[in-house]
Amino acid sequence: MKLRVLWVGKTQEEWVRRGIDEYAGRIRRYAPLEIAEARDEKGAAAEAMRAREGDRLEKLLPRNARLVLLDERGDEMTSPQFAAFIARQRDTAVPELAFAIGGAYGFADSFRARADKTIALSRMTLTHQMVRVVLLEQIYRAHTIINGEPYHH
């Protein structure tokens, strides 16, 4: 199963970029991973920015992909539950599992409605930049759990 992570806007901080590279490299030992970046919108009302960013995310999403939205209001799960969720997608022949991280103002309702599942990493709000690293680490962790490797304690 192919994995895709979509996000809005460039990665600004060097330390975030290093984290992304580290965990993306680790994930690619287990599954093909593509990262795609939608241009962020600036200088409009929040709702308009969310709508335009949603349209751009939509264009980066293959038709056959199952979409998981990252959102602080989503379902919370443990790392083993997240691993079981990923394994279930793979075992039911989902061709591509896509994760989307919103921009600084979050998602438009229209894009939110497109999601097959919405998950929260915490009830706290993280920056849209930091979520990139935390999500990638959890995807990596999930694969070590699926493969019974001694990373998750």
Ligand X SMILES: C[S@@+](CC[C@H](N)C(=O)[O-])C[C@H]1O[C@@H](n2cnc3c(N)ncnc32)[C@H](O)[C@@H]1O
x-or-dash string of contact with ligand X, 40-69, rule CB under 6 A: ------------------------------
Check binding of 125 to ligand X (CB under 6 A). Answer: yes
Rounded to the nearest whole angstrom, what is the least distance from the CB of residue 116 to ligand X in the complex? 15
Rounded to the nearest whole angstrom, what is the least distance from the CB of residue 135 to ligand X in the complex? 8
d(CA 69, CA 47) in angstroms, rounded, equals 18
CA torsion sign, 142 to 148 to 150 to 153? positive
Check binding of 120 to ligand X (CB under 6 A). Answer: yes
User: Is the CB of 110 or the CB of 147 nearer to ligand X?
Assistant: 110
Tell me the two tokens of residue 15.
């330390």
Q: Which residue, among 125, 129, 126, has the nearest Cα to 12 in the 3D structure?
A: 129
Cβ atoms of residues 7 and 31 within 8 Å: no
Rule CB under 6 A: choose which of 56, 128, 141, 143 binds ligand X.
128
User: Is the CB of 122 or the CB of 147 nearer to ligand X?
Assistant: 122
Rule CB under 6 A: choose which of 16, 77, 94, 126 binds ligand X.
126
Rule CB under 6 A: choose which of 36, 37, 72, 90 binds ligand X.
72
Rule CB under 6 A: choose which of 3, 38, 68, 121 binds ligand X.
121
CA torsion sign, 26 to 27 to 31 to 33? negative
The values of phi and psi at residue 70, to 5°, are -95, 120
Cβ atoms of residues 7 and 37 within 8 Å: yes
Rounded to the nearest whole angstrom, what is the least distance from the CB of residue 148 to ligand X in the complex? 27
